[in-house]
Chain A
Amino acid sequence: MLGALPVHAEPAAIATLGPLIGLAALGAFHGMNPAMGWLFAVSLGLQRENVRAIGSAVLYISLGHVASLLVVAVVLALAGYFVPLFWVRIAAGVFLTGFGIYKLALYYRHFRWVGMNVSGRDLIAWSFLMATSHGAGLMLAPVILNLEEEGAGAPDLDHHAGLLDLSDTAAAWGIGLTVHTLAMLTVMLAIALIVYRKLGLAFLRRGWLNVDLLWSAALILAGLATLTLAFL
């Protein structure tokens, strides 16, 4: 890599398709988890007897969700700025795997942050807390770190002894999180509307699979993937 040209290319060009598809898929996965918000949106629609309540709830919930992701992304980027990416991956991977195992054992713990009478601000706060406590942002760690690495450009990384260049990564994960959140919002809104209009409440009794277990498994997988990527 010695003598390579600086690869400070346009973010759109450097954000490769793979991580973006991964982030979109994870967005869809987050969107389908009732604990992330579509269920709350349905219940508010029913309570207020107004389908518009579903739309506005999903928007507020997405804002809270993306805020939580942003916190994680900033922490990871700052970590990558000061510490070699290898060690960021090791730390994130170990934490994620441990958190997944913890959730697997205690997946049923839920706090009562709000009630049924909620303002937009309550929904943002609720969604932020739910996403954070469920490790929604952390689950994106392997992809985000990859994206940040791609964003900085591998040669550049070498040049900086494995450290990230923040100006490039900001643009990369900006695009990444937008893609993720749009995917989540779409899936969330679709499920909420289908349950509200077509399936009805009775669907919850049969169709509400134990996503919490799936979620814990996803956290563990993300942890292992992050660890693996550290050694590639």
Chain B
Amino acid sequence: MALMTPDPTFYPSARLAIQAPPERLGYVAVLNTNGQPDAMSVVDLDPESPTYSTIVNSLDMPNVGDELHHFGWNACSASLCPYAPHPHLERRYLIVPTLRTSRIYVIDTKPDPFSPQVVKTVEADVIANRTGYSRLHTVHCGPDAIYLNGIGSAEGGAPGGILRIDHNTFEPLGAWELDRGPQTLAYDFWWHMGLDVAVTSEWCTPDLFENGPSLSDIVAGNYGHKIHFWDLRRRRHLQEVDFGSENQMVLELRPSHNPTKAYGFVGVVVNNQDLSSSVWTWYQDGDKWAVTKVIDIPAEPADPALLPEALKGLGAVPPLVTDLDLSLDDKFLYVSCWGTGQMRQYDVSDPFDAKLTGVVELGGIVNKSAHPKSGPLIGAPQMVEISRDGRRVYATNSLYSSWDDTFYDNITGWMAKFNVNPEGGLSLDEDFFVDFGEGRAHQVRLEGGDASSDSFCYP
């Protein structure tokens, strides 16, 4: 268990992590709505391998109806942080929370990374009793513990918030917040390690997402439209920033990987006035935090006959930006448009001047753009993950079971890959396509780490 030198997948800085070897495999959370348990699938990502671009193994969860969603590692480069160093931990266990049933599965990826096993389950009542949270969502390995968040309170309402689990026993340690200020809604969280500042975002209370999106609540502005800044050391709320209630669902948080920089990107799913999506940069303005819109993606007019029931009256397809990912060099931001069916690449070297450098059309509510290895595709790029060297981008197509069904009839799971031109631009990898059949593919984690799995304490 104890290593004599640091886990080779830990890098002091994002700059060094870019030199990591290419991933040979990825873990993909697969949701089943057909009465079968969800699964953690192992996908072969090594182009030299005979089983490249196929599911080489699939680990069924011990229960049915969990709704696997996001997940993360037990330990990562944050273990090298100087004030709480424990570099001889192993990146070995996948911490897999369940969004609907509020469990945590701990999956061991050793000794055989192609054959992971569930080694521990923390049940929802234990988590609720110790932390007061449910509907577990984001996972980040911290310097002192593993951090997770729950979108709902133990009773299934608000507030949602952050909890920690011990990085050895995986037992919940309690709610993280000492003073939550005005924050009630939760979705994503991450941090600026160099500034000791955490950021959290807002989706909604569980009743507004578990049964599918409520259009009347979107129109009424009842979904989350704020982000919150926290003192990471003192576990206190510092400031909220309101995007205005027309900006509904402020979701994925992507702070710069360089811990000395004080900016990050966050996506807004839909503007309830014009159906557009947007990406905003948050930044430090004096001793306050501020946001400014840097990317605006308009809705596309569409024939109502081609639209699902929920959108017929609108006569347009919203882009539905549901995920973002920032390359480890803080240069390219990838934006998935789950409604219109696009994977976009922006050069954000200047975080206040995002330049569109690439677009690949795939799937989409109206377009259903095909992959060379498939017919017309149902669903569209949703969860995005970037290799550490920034050369490969992977996307899966499922959002959340009841939301999938609102926007796409008969959705089936798939995973695609995009190749990146380091100078700017991306192209669809025509040789890579994974069909998950009835299983709905959600978050991807790459072997050894990726662009949203690790936090760095050194520039």
* B→A interface (CB under 8 Å): 2-6, 8, 10-13, 16, 80-89, 142-145, 167-168, 193-196, 232-233, 259-260, 457-459
Contacts and interface: CB of A to CB of B under 8 A. Distances in A.
Q: Which of B16, B83, B167 has the most CB of A within 10 A?
A: B83
B144 A46 contact: no
A108 B459 contact: no
A117 B196 CA distance: 6
Interface stretch (A162-170, A208-216, A217-225): A208-216
Contacts, number: 102
B195 A108 contact: no
A206 B53 CA distance: 33
A112 B143 contact: yes
What are the 6 A-B residue pairs with the smallest beta carbon separation, nearest first?
A115-B196, A112-B144, A110-B84, A40-B82, A201-B12, A115-B233
A198 interface: no
Contact of A42 (B82, B88, B143): B82
B164 to A, nearest CB: 10
Given A47-B194, A108-B89, A205 B10 contact: yes
A87 interface: no
A39 interface: yes
Nearest to A126: B83
Contact of A201 (B13, B86, B260): B13
B3 A114 contact: no
Given A108-B88, A116-B195, A126-B83, A202 B232 contact: no
A44 B81 CA distance: 11
Contacts of A230: none
Contacts of B142: 112
A116 B3 contact: no
Q: Which of B10, B81, B168 has the most CB of A within 10 A?
A: B81
A205 B12 contact: yes
A40 B85 CA distance: 10
A113 interface: yes
A47 B457 CA distance: 9
12 contacts: A43-B82, A46-B458, A47-B259, A108-B168, A112-B84, A112-B143, A113-B83, A116-B196, A201-B13, A202-B16, A205-B8, A210-B2
A116 B85 CA distance: 13
A209 B5 contact: yes
Contact of B193 (A113, A114, A116, A212): A116
A208 B6 contact: yes
Q: Which of A34, A35, A115, A210 has the most CB of B within 10 A?
A: A115
A164 to B, nearest CB: 37
